[in-house]
Chains A and B, each alone.
Chain A
Amino acid sequence: MEGKKRIRVLVAKPGLDGHDRGAKLLAYKLRNAGMEVIYTGLRQSPRQIAEVALQEDVDVVALSCLSGAHDYLFPRTVSLMREMGLEDIPVIGGGIIPQQDILKLKQAGVKEIFTPGASMKDIVSYITGLAAQQPVAK
């Protein structure tokens, strides 16, 4: 590996939710931390997100949903990414997500869930850690 590759993160808003304060904030923080950030904007279907993850060759996918539709949208995104052979790309999620749902989402393949009040510093360092675990040669 020559030089240090910048971490590439896809910040995505699956579904119809319009609350993008957290997603934009995270995107901004990640960029400030030296990462390359692709933000999808609102109203993305799980398939669109998986396709962008593929095209953009990202290291991590971060999903944000505050409408309660995470129970469908997060697992659906993970499974579509698997179908496309992207099972190595870790997916994390955030939003208004009841504690009771977190285990189910993790079982469905979401690496970690962050809820309101989570520290941005923690999320940024978590993503940095995830990217470091990525296989070097793709």
Chain B
Amino acid sequence: MNKDLKTESQAWENAIIARLKKNPERKPGFNNTSGIEIKRLYTPLDTEQTNYLEDLEFPGQYPFTRGIQPTMYRGQIWSMRQYAGFGTAQESNRRFKYLLEQGQTGLSVAFDLPTQIGLDSDHELSEGEVGKVGVAIDSLEDMEILLEGIALDRVSTSMTINAPAAILLAMYVAVAEKQGVPLGKLSGTVQNDILKEYVARGTYIFPPTPSLRLTVDVMEYCSSNIPKWNFISVGGYHIREAGSTAAQEIAFAFSNAITYVEKAIEAGLDVDSFAPRISWIFNTYNDFFEEIAKYRAARRLWARIMKNRFGAKNHKSCMLRMHIQDGGSTMTAQQPINNIIRSSVHCLASVLGGTQSLAICSYDEACAIPTEESARTSLRIQQIIAHETGVADTVDPLAGSYYIESLTNSLEKKIEEYIEEVDLQGGAVKAIENGYIQRQINQSSYRYQEEIENEERILVGVNKYQIEEEPLSEIYRVDPAMRQLQVARLESLRQRRDSIRANEALQRLESAAKGNEKLMPRILEAVKAYATLGEICDSLRSVFGSYKASKDF
């Protein structure tokens, strides 16, 4: 039968090509961001190589192409987890409670830049940044305020924190202990993915080697103390935001993750003891089918990497569990209401891609941080897709589409090629140090921009269909008095706390850092003594040094 199909298919193509002169297509060729050529039509010929039981299987079964749970959203709708946090701990606490009242099912904490870079709010470089892109946390006291009235055994909390992940996690643990919640009942995530900070997100503190030591310490601590905690959320998200293609997003995140797994194994951990708790954060961009296929390809490839490269035996070690946020950089400042439509399409692609958890950008993303209204609208997009469209009623509904399966195969291949290249360079750390990954991302970013400038890529309201418009009337503003408030509380804390206890804890941490002791217990001790985040990071900086990035572009 396939022989006939081949002949028929060729005949059909030939007939089209003959008519192209008279009836040309919109452009000479069609490609997605990953550089994969999109064919005019896909037929069973394009999926001939796909073996259902080997390449797709049933959901909940290796290699999980169709999803990691057997019933997916029929069992439970994905977790709706809008990213929030700004200003003081009190203000963020109010927004969290608001979002929980509106039906949000988990918390996702955004920290301000001084917190992410390990500087106290009164540091010179913190000026202008306190409370801007997230909440300012200087000490355990701020974390206590942030989580006040939120039962930590009832919510799962995701914290976007990397370089100082160990410290913020220690603060969370200390609050849980004060609430009387056993650590076994805590669930949540720390991002703790330092390698992508060097190539994309920029909130590094220490050089890669000591940073990886902290990463592995957190992995170990969580594995033995907080079994339900995701101690790492490996990010493709930020790599994509920095300008990579879809295939590069997955590939470079995988290369980073391969390094974490190798380091944990080197530290003596058994792969199946920690791999099930690796989680991921990815980015849904505009190309609908490319994104869906990307997630399916990523699940299959990660499963194969864990099994074949690391010898994982536990199926859970092979499951790629993901959180998705749609691309902040796809949101336009022009005609911002249009972003609600973009986000709805992103939301749909993420769900058809089989995500576990989702955050949708607010339509004012390109203008300011979200207002209560814009944040609520994002949550409503998710709720509408979940409850009104029927897409959650069957598992992996696009499987078997000639196009989707073919694209899933091509993306998997493309991702593998990049991973091989990073391996050839000597692994992720080497490929970061020699600038390979940064160059790849920059080149893709420049190319994407060229396409916009040349109008090969149309962005509605940006390079086509522009209008004269008024600025958004309502935008959220962080109270300018915020920094003084935060600094005043910090100063008062330094007066009130037992300084001898804090200093001793800091000294013990410093000497632990000089040797090869586990750092997590020392960090917990310092946090509980109300040593500040800046002080704790300074102790570590004095031993580890600070990372200096290249200025290439």
Contact = CB atoms under 8 A, between A and B. Distances in A.
Given A21-B241, A67-B133, A117-B459, A27 B553 contact: yes
Contacts of A24: 442, 445, 553
Nearest to A100: B471
Contacts of A43: 117, 125, 202
B553 A39 contact: yes
B368 A68 contact: yes
A28 B471 contact: no
Given A99-B471, A117-B462, A39 B551 contact: yes
B369 A117 contact: no
Interface residues of A, number: 37
Contact of B368 (A17, A98, A117): A98
B459 A16 contact: no
Contacts, number: 110
Across the A-B interface, give the 10 residue pairs with the lowest CB-CB distance, nearest first.
Answer: A18-B202, A72-B128, A99-B471, A69-B128, A16-B113, A41-B551, A24-B553, A68-B132, A117-B462, A27-B553
Given A16-B114, A72-B127, A115-B366, A42 B202 contact: yes
B408 interface: no
B446 interface: yes
Main secondary structure of the interface of A (DSSP, over half): loop
A18 B200 CA distance: 8
Residue of A18, A27, A121 ringed by the most chain B CB atoms within 10 A = A18
Interface residues of B, number: 48
Contacts of B248: none
Contact of B471 (A18, A76, A98): A98
Interface string A42-82: 11010000000000000000000001110111001000000
Interface of A: 11, 15-21, 23-25, 27-28, 37, 39-43, 45, 67-69, 71-73, 76, 96, 98-100, 115-117, 119-121
B342 to A, nearest CB: 13
Interface of B: 113-114, 116-117, 119, 124-129, 132-133, 197, 200-203, 241-243, 329, 331-334, 366-369, 442, 445-446, 449, 453, 459, 461-463, 471-472, 475, 478, 480, 549-551, 553
B551 A68 contact: no
Contacts of B459: 117
Contacts of A45: 124-125
Contacts of A28: 442, 446, 553
A72 B113 CA distance: 15
